[in-house]
Amino acid sequence: MTPFPSAKPQPQPQTSTPAATQQPVRGVWLATVSRLDWPPVNSVNLSSAAQRIQLQQQALTAKLDRLKSLGINTVFFQVKPDGTALWRSDILPWSDMLTGTIGADPGYDPLMFMLDEAHKRGMKVHAWFNPYRVAVNTRPSTLAELNRTLSLHPASVYVLHRDWIRTAGDRLVLDPGIPDARDWITSIVAEVVRRYPVDGVQFDDYFYAETAESPLNDAQTWRAWGQGFASKADWRRHNTQLLIEQVSRTIRQIKPQVEFGVSPAGVWRNLSHDAAGSDTRGAAAYDEAFADTRRWVQQGLLDYIAPQLYWPFARQAARYDVLAHWWAQVVKPTHTRLYIGVALYKIGEPSRTEPDWTVENGVPELKKQLDLNESTPGIDGTILFRENYLNQPQTQPAVRYLQRRWGG
């Protein structure tokens, strides 16, 4: 492995609340991108701001009541779905998910509302950020709306720092190789941690998120910043590493009690590529997203890691049990807690390659996964992807099972 150009002192392992004193996490992701889970799609069509606010707030409290009844104790709330915010920010414009227009004041602070209501119910809230995404598509109408924010305070990063913007996976993203862009992302996290009583901060798995059809063009950035690396892949991983290091350090400086975690793809590396990898044949975070997730655990940069193990026990290419045990071994000598992401969205959905999701409505598969999570030393919780699937007809037998198991 190529040594990094500059040796930096390693951050000290975290010293926040020891895992022994913590309840196991029974969590759910609540996505706001494209209004997947919240706010209600129809709320933005209401002509009356008062009615819109009422509908959005009632929808959120109803969800929290339901989650509480199911025994869910932690909500991972997507506060930065793209280059916009679901809190009153001095850096990002208001999210159009709230009103239909980027930068339009929604008339209340959704993050503060969520924190007040969840804490009132004894539930924790982690602010979930998509670090690099600026917009979910590159349509002319999207670009026009971003350009219209020029007169706003704050304006979109798309107009303020056009030189940071790239296209990848048919979305607008920030180039992770630009140091100023990483500093900017860190400042956004710092703003939330300083101003809000969040219990945690989470980054999702979108680091270098490109596709074969729409790769990230960072050739110029690589020429400018990539000296001293044996390969472009090593340089990209270094960029992701630097972001995680500085966000981890920043959170600990501001409020060390706030947990910092990442939810990466379930496979770090496959055994066929690395002797330390898992016995799997899946898309690997290390090679595809340029995220050395195992290293972050080993270095004590994270308070928790929540790998997305979205496969059944019988999926030979990426067996749930193989990966859960592999991750439990990774965290074992560290202070990092392990929460497993579970594929609620697959339950009850017919699948040729994963038929177990429909056997007895997917309940036996869910039971096996929860049994493993709750009996394996080193696994400290489960997070369901994602909230709105709790409301779908195909998951209701599994939801009733969860109610009995967790809701008491």
How many angstroms separate the Cα of 37 from the Cα of each of 102, 275, 288, 382, 391?
A: 19, 39, 27, 19, 10
Residue at 140 is within a domain: no
Q: Flag whether 354 is in a domain.
A: yes
Count of other CB atoms within 10 angstroms of residue 123 = 21
For 184, the domain range is: 25-131+178-407
For residue 90, what are its two tokens?
A: 């001095």
pLDDT recorded at residue 287: 96
Give residue 122's region: left, alpha or beta (phi > 0; psi -120 to 50): left
Work out how many domains the chain is built from and give that number.
1
Contact call for residues 405 and 370 (beta carbons, < 8 A): yes
How do beta strands 200-203 and 259-262 pair?
A: parallel
Proportion of the chain above pLDDT 90, given as a percent: 94
Q: How high is the mean pLDDT of the chain?
A: 95
Within 10 angstroms of residue 154's Cβ, the number of other Cβ atoms is 15
**What digits encode the pLDDT tens for the residues 311-321?**
999 999 999 99
Confidence at residue 22, expressed as pLDDT on a 0 to 100 scale? 78
Give the tokens for residue 183.
Answer: 């500093």
137: in domain: no
How many CA atoms lie within 13 Å of 376's alpha carbon, on the beta-carbon side?
26
Average pLDDT over every residue of 370-390? 98
How many CA atoms lie less than 13 Å away from 31 in the CB half-sphere?
A: 16
- CATH code of the domain in which 306 resides: 3.20.20.80
Domain presence at residue 1: no
Angle at alpha carbon of residue 41, lines to 40 and 44, rounded to 5°: 95
The first and second tokens of residue 210, run together, are 């490109």
15 in a domain, yes or no?
no
Answer yes or no: is pLDDT of 408 > 90: no
pLDDT at position 149 over 80: yes
Query: Cβ distance 301 to 248 under 8 Å?
Result: yes
3-state percent breakdown (helix, strand, coil) of the chain, nearest 5: 45, 15, 40
Inside any domain, residue 183: yes
pLDDT of residue 13: 44
Rounded average pLDDT over 271-297:
97
pLDDT of residue 392 exceeding 80: yes
Task: For residue 191, tell me if it sits in a domain.
Answer: yes
Task: List the helix and strand counts (H, then E) for the chain.
Answer: 12, 11
Is residue 275 situated within a structural domain? yes
pLDDT tens string 174-207: 999 999 999 999 999 999 999 999 999 999 999 9
Under the banding of pLDDT at 50, 70 and 90, the label for residue 10 is very low
- What are the tokens at 407? 């809701």
Does 139 sit behind a cis peptide bond, omega within 30 degrees of 0 on the bond before it? no
pLDDT reading at 303 higher than 90: yes
**Segment holding 200, helix H or strand E:** strand 200-203
Distance of CA 33 to the CA centre of its chain: 12
